[in-house]
């Protein structure tokens, strides 16, 4: 009887551990969430990557860093609003840290290119981290300092670190762009490459059901 009790306790303990892992993978721990806002070129790219990260609850493409209220995509592309294309990431810090999100961010874009990523050129594609707390600011600067000290890139990092003002959600057709347009050439040749790079180098942070 004692042996059977011990076996049952072990089975129940294993079940609890499995449930904890599954809960983390499925982002069920959402009682305490934070937001991160990054700009790294086209927002379609970052949205597609971060939707695959464990602990990420929601990702929205939008505009920030400018001075026009409720800008349209056309206005932002003209450069007249000074907004950058960014993503707002809601995440559970008990599952994924802000610093890990930053490391993923730097992995999937080239932080040495001023106002461009690939063929996307303009101030709306500038590289920017928009912090909403002093802690986020300190972590962002620490990550950049580390990448600089380790000489990860051949040229200086040009990513800006700025306080987050207003975030304006982009038009509906920009949301979940990769999911809804996987046959588009931009998705096949640009977005897919970034997602593949993330999967290769940050595999332990992949959600179970990924794009």
Q: Is 157 helix (H, G, I), strand (E, B) or coil?
A: coil
The Cα–Cα gap between 5 and 181 comes to 54
CA 112 remoteness from chain centre: 18
Q: 42, 45, 77, 187: which one is catalytic?
A: 42
Task: Confirm whether 77 is a catalytic residue.
Answer: no
Contact in structure between 171 and 70 (CB atoms under 8 Å): no
Contacts of 197 (CB under 8 A, 6+ apart): 107, 108
The Cα–Cα gap between 107 and 109 comes to 6
Contact in structure between 81 and 68 (CB atoms under 8 Å): yes
- Among residues 127, 89, 92, 93, which one has the least CA distance to residue 108? 127
Count of CB atoms situated within 10 Å of the CB of 84: 28
Count of CB atoms situated within 10 Å of the CB of 178: 22
Residues labelled catalytic: 42
């Amino acid at each position: 009887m004692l042996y059977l009790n011990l076996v049952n306790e072990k089975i129940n303990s294993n079940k609890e551990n499995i449930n904890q892992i599954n809960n983390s993978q499925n982002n069920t721990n959402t009682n305490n969430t934070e937001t991160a806002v990054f700009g790294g070129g086209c927002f379609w790219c970052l949205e597609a990557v971060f939707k695959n990260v464990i602990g990420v609850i929601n990702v929205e493409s939008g505009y920030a860093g400018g001075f026009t209220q409720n800008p349209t995509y056309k206005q932002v592309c003209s450069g007249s609003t000074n907004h950058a294309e960014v993503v707002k990431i809601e995440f559970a810090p008990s599952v994924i840290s802000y610093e890990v999100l930053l490391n993923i961010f730097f992995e999937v874009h080239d932080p040495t290119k001023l106002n461009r990523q690939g063929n996307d050129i303009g101030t709306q594609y500038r590289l920017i981290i928009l912090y909403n707390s002093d802690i986020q600011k300190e972590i962002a600067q620490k990550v950049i300092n580390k990448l600089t000290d380790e000489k990860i890139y051949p040229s200086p990092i040009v990513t800006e670190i700025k306080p987050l003002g207003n975030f304006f959600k982009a038009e509906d057709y920009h949301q979940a762009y990769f999911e809804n347009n996987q046959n588009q050439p931009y998705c096949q040749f640009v977005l897919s490459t970034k997602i593949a790079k993330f999967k290769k180098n940050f595999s332990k942070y992949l959600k179970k059901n990924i794009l």
